[in-house]
Amino acid sequence: MSAPLRIGVLGASRIAKLAVVDAARETGDVLAAVAARDPERAAAFAREHGVAGTRADYEELIADDSLDLVYIGLPNGLHAEWTARALAAGRDVLVEKPFAANLAEFERVEARLGPSRGWAFEAFHYADHPAFARALELLGGPGLLSAPGELGALRSVRVTMHMPAPKPSDPRWSFELAGGAMMDLGCYALNALIRLGESAAFPDPVAPRVLRAAAVTATAAIPDGDPRVDAAVRAELALGDVPATIDVSMAAEAWDFGLELACERGAIRIPNFVKPQEDDRLIVTLAGGPGGGDEPGGGERVERVERTGGESSYAHQLRRVREELRAGARDRAELARSRRTAALIDEVYAAAGLPERPARLMD
């Protein structure tokens, strides 16, 4: 076990509580400082969540050399700007998804990684939970398409990302702050498809396997809202030759973060792949005879439920980040996934006839 991290929290936000406050309680890392736009809000956050101290503003926090990691839980449109500033100060950064407002802004941050002492991690915490790793294992690990596992070849993927609507004043409805359903929720779906594609046996093991986005529909925000901000997006994509559907809504009646993988001899369903700690089931359906999958005549279908563990995906993520930082690792494969996710968001918006979110970080 490596030494605990001293963490500085940029933004006294709801997501900061989930991603680092609660996670640090599980991992034993130290919440050293918090900064917010309003110092009184930072002080209240520190008292409520046991953060050791506060800093007067964001600049003072990222200048603190006693910190091992800066967590950025600000509105989407501020992620790239403050990641770049923290990197310039030599900090290591865990930045909430989405990493940047668009691909060009991501690339501006990426260019700053070389000369910085620090590194940046995008917070796709779901990928650190055993639930997603187990799904990949059932699909055949590194041979997802060419050397299938227990369930046979992958035939289709469906990712659902639904949540009830935030209040109208929420920054997730702000175009200027990089709001929208694809930014807040769809990035998870696209990132998951990228990881599924990487598990296939292709010539370049880290190249993206999501080859195209087509048949995209988008629903505008809320009545009298900004028509540039998407409340819902449905997109048909391709994972190699395998069709993939993402159904994203930031104005649904109920929460649903489901991942469904249909295969030659059965299927996998993770009811909540983003936060499996809330439902740690991985449901495997196997056909009892030849054919299997969704084909008629595939024999009696047998369902089993695997439990993947109740530890928070955020705790798994924080532990992995700590181990990489203590080892001095710079995971360029993970950075490549972040880059491809940003590119795909732009592609989906273009296919839907919506503009890219505006960048704040400039060269």
Which residues are designated catalytic? 97
Q: How far apart are CA 314 and CA 26, in angstroms?
A: 9
Q: Which residue has the tokens 């998951």?
A: 192
Q: How far apart are CA 49 and CA 38, in angstroms?
A: 17
Instruction: Work out whether strand 6-10 and strand 69-72 pair parallel, antiparallel, or are unpaired.
Output: parallel
Q: How far apart are CA 262 and CA 259, in angstroms?
A: 10
Residue 332's nearest CA partner among 34, 110, 137 is: 110
Q: How far apart are CA 159 and CA 282, in angstroms?
A: 15
Write the CA distances from 48 to 17, 52, 175, integer angstroms. Answer: 10, 11, 32
Provide DSSP, 245-280: EEEEESS-SS-BB-EEEEETTEEEEETBSSSGGG--
Strand partners, 262: 156, 267
Q: What six digits make up the tokens of 45? A: 């956050």
Q: How far apart are CA 100 and CA 83, in angstroms?
A: 9
Q: How far apart are CA 271 and CA 256, in angstroms?
A: 8
